[in-house]
């Protein structure tokens, strides 16, 4: 008995259904192999962030508390009214860039390498003041395009105090309370501004506490708020001087980073040696820390350059 001939129309329908089914599953298959704007690639790890802040960030109990609460409250809110905007202030080497990295690593599977995390450097991306108008347009388009592709995008602006006045004003609408702007919602994005502005004022407050013998760990955000606010508004060299980000309450948290002391430099050095697979040399670490604890000149309480140069300095001591 001969097999019944297949109907060409049925074959076509079957192939069409198979193709349609594959295309419907294609995003799921693709996201197994490349980063996508989906929960398997973007998922907040509160336990991880808390652990990293406690074990990897040295001497910054104030910043750790503020950042953990700010990020946790924001990421747990399915419908935030505005993006999360953090402004981190303090001396170079106190951990501002490092904290940005820690935050990224506990939200994005690929951390700072994620295509949804964007780092802007004034000297690299906005070097020429004459091109300010072009930079503004490019920055707006970059943010709009990336948030359109993934609402959970993160934007980090380094060295805000050196940024051309007015540049950040160009993105001010994206930081405010809006349902959408031209059809795009920015409410789930994160903006982090890093600035050396305020470092001197924070140090002076810390030095006053040190002189009266007050425990560093008892210093709270309220003790630093006034000095930090004054320097941000009065510093004409700061990128915030010509902006109204803070005045219009667009910055959610101003986060101070304290100057580091000898024990913190030792901790940074120890962590660096361990990361290289080396056994920590405590004598060398202590000597390096003593040589770096150099400010103010008479008291020699704080390491003016923090932990930023630890890796290169260690090579000399070990």
Question: Cβ of 49: how many Cβ atoms within 10 Å?
Answer: 22
Q: Tell me if 62 sits within 8 A of 221, measured CB to CB.
A: yes
Closest CA to 60 of 34, 98, 11: 98
Max CA pair span of the chain = 106
Q: Is 82 annotated as a binding residue?
A: no
Q: Is 100 annotated as a binding residue?
A: no
Torsion, CA 92, CA 98, CA 100, CA 104, rounded to 10: 170
DSSP 17-67: HHHHHHHHHHHHHHTTTS--SSTTTB---HHHHHHHHHHHS-S-HHHHHHH
Q: Tell me if 174 sits within 8 A of 136, measured CB to CB.
A: no
Q: How far is CA 158 from the centre of its chain?
A: 9
Omega before 112 within 30 of 0, i.e. cis: no
Q: Is 235 annotated as a binding residue?
A: no
Please tell me the distance from the alpha carbon of residue 134 to that of residue 139, in angstroms, as a whole number: 9
Helix axes of 46-56 and 96-105: crossing angle, nearest 10 degrees: 150
Dihedral angle sign, alpha carbons of residues 134, 136, 141, 143: positive
Q: Is 95 annotated as a binding residue?
A: yes
Q: Is 96 annotated as a binding residue?
A: yes
**CA–CA distance from 81 to each of 122, 170, 186, 188, 189 (Å)?**
29, 20, 9, 9, 11
Question: Cβ of 18: how many Cβ atoms within 10 Å?
Answer: 10
- Please give the annotated binding residues, written as ranges: 90-97
- Please give the annotated binding residues for ATP, written as ranges: 90-97
């Amino acid at each position: 008995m001969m097999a019944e001939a297949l109907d060409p129309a049925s074959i076509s329908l079957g192939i069409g259904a198979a193709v349609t089914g594959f295309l419907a599953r294609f995003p799921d298959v693709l996201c197994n192999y490349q980063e996508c704007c989906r929960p398997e690639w973007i998922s907040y790890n509160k336990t991880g962030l808390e652990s990293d802040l406690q074990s990897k960030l040295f001497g910054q109990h104030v910043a750790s508390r503020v950042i953990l609460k700010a990020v946790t409250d924001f990421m747990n809110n399915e419908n935030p009214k505005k993006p999360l905007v953090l402004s981190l202030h303090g001396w170079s080497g106190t951990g501002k860039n490092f904290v940005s990295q820690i935050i990224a690593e506990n939200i994005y599977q690929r951390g700072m390498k994620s295509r949804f995390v964007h780092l802007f450097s004034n000297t690299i991306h906005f070097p020429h003041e004459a091109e300010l108008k072009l930079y503004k347009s490019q920055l707006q388009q970059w943010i709009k395009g990336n948030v359109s592709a993934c609402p959970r995008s993160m934007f980090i602006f380094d060295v805000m105090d050196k940024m051309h006045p007015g540049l950040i004003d160009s993105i001010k609408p994206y930081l405010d309370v809006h349902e959408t702007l031209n059809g795009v919602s920015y409410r789930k994005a994160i903006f982090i501004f890093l600035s050396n502005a305020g470092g001197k004022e924070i140090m002076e407050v810390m030095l006053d506490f040190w002189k009266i013998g007050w425990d560093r760990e008892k210093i709270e955000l309220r003790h630093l708020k006034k000095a930090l606010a004054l320097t941000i508004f009065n510093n004409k060299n700061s990128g915030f001087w010509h902006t109204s980000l803070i005045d219009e309450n667009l910055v959610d948290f101003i986060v101070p980073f304290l100057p580091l002391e000898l024990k913190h430099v030792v901790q940074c050095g120890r962590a660096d040696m361990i990361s290289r697979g080396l056994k920590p040399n405590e004598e060398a670490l202590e000597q390096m820390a003593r040589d770096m604890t150099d400010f103010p000149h008479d008291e020699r309480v704080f390491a003016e350059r923090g932990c930023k140069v630890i890796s290169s300095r260690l090579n000399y001591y070990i």
